Structure 1
Amino acid sequence: MEFISREPRFHINSNLYIAPGKAKEITTFPVIFERFPVDILLAYSRELVTLDTTAKDCLVATYYGGDMIIPMLRTETKTIPSEKKQEQNWLGTDGVAIFKEGKLVDTISAYEMRGAMWILGKMRDAEITVNAPTDGKPLDFMINQSHSKIKPIIEGNQITMHIHCKADASLISSQSNIPLQDPAQIKKLEDSLEELVKIRIRKAIESSQKVGADVFQFGSYLDWYVPSVWKEVAPRWRKVYRENVKIAPHVEITIKRLGTTKNPIRFHPAESSSGG
């Protein structure tokens, strides 16, 4: 961050990743479908496969004490059929790293990372699965776009962060016989999707509160909405965030597209015709 803040030629909208080993090793990974390794990383951020943390995000976080989250990469060896089944080094995404006061203190899983993306309003073109309330069989939905808004509410000495998330969803596959023509059943599916997202949001925040790292910059919202309260708690904010801040997620997901097929596609064996 010191180098980035002082070097005017460094683009502050560049994406940052945490990689195992040395950074220069990433440049030596074989490229199969892209021209350069950087194209892979650009695609990860552009398609929101993982968090798209930029240098600017980290600089802003540094101003508020250096608590931030940065996406992680992982490497492994895979057998790729298109490469004559030869083993190749493979570069993929993992969870995210939690930084506290500029130091890496913990990591969270890809599952919890999804909750972080909901909080930050960066969930797009992501698949989410819920079970039907009728027969318990899975339905897969695609989240088309999400938006989030964070607002702190002060009640006495209690600080509550209200996180409002809105999104549209499209049904992409179903193994259930749930009647999709019934608005009441659609509402139940929306409720199930919303509850699942709330769980992910709470998981992500619990991980950050456990280590006392305000990686979602809730302090900046407090500073913006109620600066008098922020001035009072700022010197001990990490302790306040860890022990006294409550989270209230509010999720609204609307299923807008079900497709033309109202019932799941089933393959049935052809009936044998009797001779005669």
Structure 2
Amino acid sequence: MNRKWMFLLIILISAVFLSGCWSKKELTDLAFISAVGIDKNEDGKYVKTIQIINPGNVAGGLQGGGGGQAPSVSVFTATGDNILEAHFRASTKISRRLYQAHANLVVIGEQLVKEEGITDIFDAFERDPEFRPTTTVVIAHDTKAEDIIKTLTAIDKIPADKVINTLRTTEQAWGENININIQEAINTLESPGKELILTGFRLKGDAEQGKKMENIQSSTLDAYPEADGIAIFKEGKLIDWFHEEESRGTVWILDKMKETDVNINWENEKEAIGYHVIRQKTTVSADVKKGRPKMTIDIRAEGDIREVTVPVNLNDPHVLLSIEKAVEKEIKKEIEKAVQRAQENKSDIFGFGEAVHRSDPKAWKKLKKGWSDVSFPEVQVEVKVNAFIRRTGLRNKSYLYDMEKNR
């Protein structure tokens, strides 16, 4: 009996220290932020654009952006001497508490990161306990971040989701863009042997029309955000943009390529055969001799033949071997273009410095100080590519080959 009373007494005492619902947040009291845009105005103040979800207009499914009579988001803009001040100034325009835990996108204006850099921007986000470090970061290319945030989008009701999903899709299917989050960006900025890259988004069409409901109530949009190249940084400042082959070459080196298409010439026909990469593996190694680093990039690619526009017999192993060699040459060309451009910019976006550090820490101590401006532009780079054809589609021999043979 005494043991039962003792147990009951412990429970009663423990109940005193329970916190209960002291930190509860009612949904009706919160304004859920889905995206944030950062620019600077002519007065040198930060301009923070906040995209807030309208729950009632999103209800009924997240697909079909043009189905409602009212926009699924509301956008507010405020200015301040720093990002935090701009954030709290925005609260004077909104009837609910700004809640950032659901924000999944940060868009930063190109002009801002060109002139002042990106280094100071992340502190306010990383320090905030509500803001997630896994939030994606992109650069507004040839436009303001504000315009990207304010543009209404079709298919995805919430514009932030449209940008995120577009980035993930193009990263998976085409390989010219990379999804980088806040924590990854900060880690890169902290590394002395690697420079930052971020995906750019350009606004296609009329920015003013993109803010209106009419933009998503027709089959063709007047304005929409589109993934557009990779932003190249040096010491936190935007210095260049990579597109097409240079972008893909960068993704190859970083071992981030998931899928892509490699088109090769065949029998005097340009881009006559389409090779679809389904998997790849990149290994970057460094070797320092007499104080001079040499990088070796080994790439193994596997893929399928997805399209041919010339008569070719894919049953012939010699033909397949020739196609593989042509694919290897094309991939190597893309990588060498990316390396050359990065060396011209004196920006080690590939992390060659990190590879040297791993390979030879003593040598890195000597090379570290002048790495970007002295050593990296002179680094010798050897590219080795091995490409393999795993399948040739639903038929081995193209009907074009049979047509040519029967003439």
TM range (shorter): 0.7 to 0.9
User: Residue 213 and residue 87 in structure 1: after superposition, are their counterparts in 2 closer, same or farther (change >3 A)?
Assistant: same
The answer to whether the aligner puts 1:233 opposite 2:355 as a matched pair is no
Give the TM-score normalised by structure 2.
0.60
| CA deviation string 1:114-169 (max 9, x = no partner) | 1111111122231221122x464601121112221111012223211111111211
Identify the residue that residue 271 of structure 1 maps to in structure 2: none
Aligned residue among 158, 168, 178 for 1:36 = 158
Aligned equivalents of 2:225, 2:149: Cα separation in 1: 11
Question: Which of 10, 17, 25 lines up with 2:147 in the alignment?
Answer: 25
For structure 1, which runs of at least 5 residues remain unmatched after alignment? 269-276
1:62 is matched with which residue?
A: 189
State the alpha-carbon separation in 2 of the partners of residues 56 and 190 from structure 1. 38
Q: How many residues align?
A: 264
The residue number in structure 2 matching 1:195 is: 329
CA RMSD of aligned residues (A): 2.3
SS in structure 2 of the partner of residue 27 of structure 1: helix
Determine the C-alpha separation between the residues in 1 that align with 2:248 and 2:377.
24
Query: Larger deviation: 168-177 or 10-19?
Result: 10-19
Distance in 2 between the 1:244 and 1:83 partners?
Answer: 54
Q: Which has the higher contact order (CA 8 A, sep 6+)?
A: 1
Say if 1:156 and 1:117 are closer, same or farther in 2 by CA, change over 3 A: same
Does residue 1:71 correspond to 2:199, yes or no? Answer: yes
What SS does structure 2 have at the residue aligned with 1:230?
Answer: helix
Alignment of 1:1-276 (within 5 A): 1-20=122-141, 21-47=143-169, 48=171, 49=174, 50-65=177-192, 67-77=195-205, 84=218, 87-132=221-266, 134=267, 136=269, 138-265=272-399
- Give the Cα–Cα distance (whole angstroms) in 2 for the partners of residues 39 and 219 of structure 1: 35
Amino acid at match of 2:365: K
Q: 1:88 to 1:233 in 2, by over 3 A?
A: same
Structure 1 residue 100: deviation in Å?
Answer: 0.6
| C-alpha distance in 2 between matches for 1:111 and 1:123 | 13
Q: Which amino acid aligns with 2:130?
A: R
What TM-score does the superposition give when structure 1 sets the normalisation length? Answer: 0.87
- Tell me, in whole angstroms, the C-alpha distance in 2 between the residues paired with 1:198 and 1:254: 14
Structure 1 residue 97 displacement after superposition:
1.2
Cα gap change, 1:83 to 1:180, in 2 (>3 Å): farther
- How many Å separate the matches in 2 of 1:120 and 1:215? 9
Asked whether the 8 Å contact 2:167–2:227 carries over to 1, the reply is: no
Structure 1 residues 200 and 131: CA distance shift in structure 2, 3 A: same
* Amino-acid identity (%): 23
Displacement of 1:183 in angstroms is 1.1
- Give the aligned partner of residue 272 of structure 1: none
| Contact 1:209–1:242 under 8 Å retained in 2 | yes
Rg larger for: 2
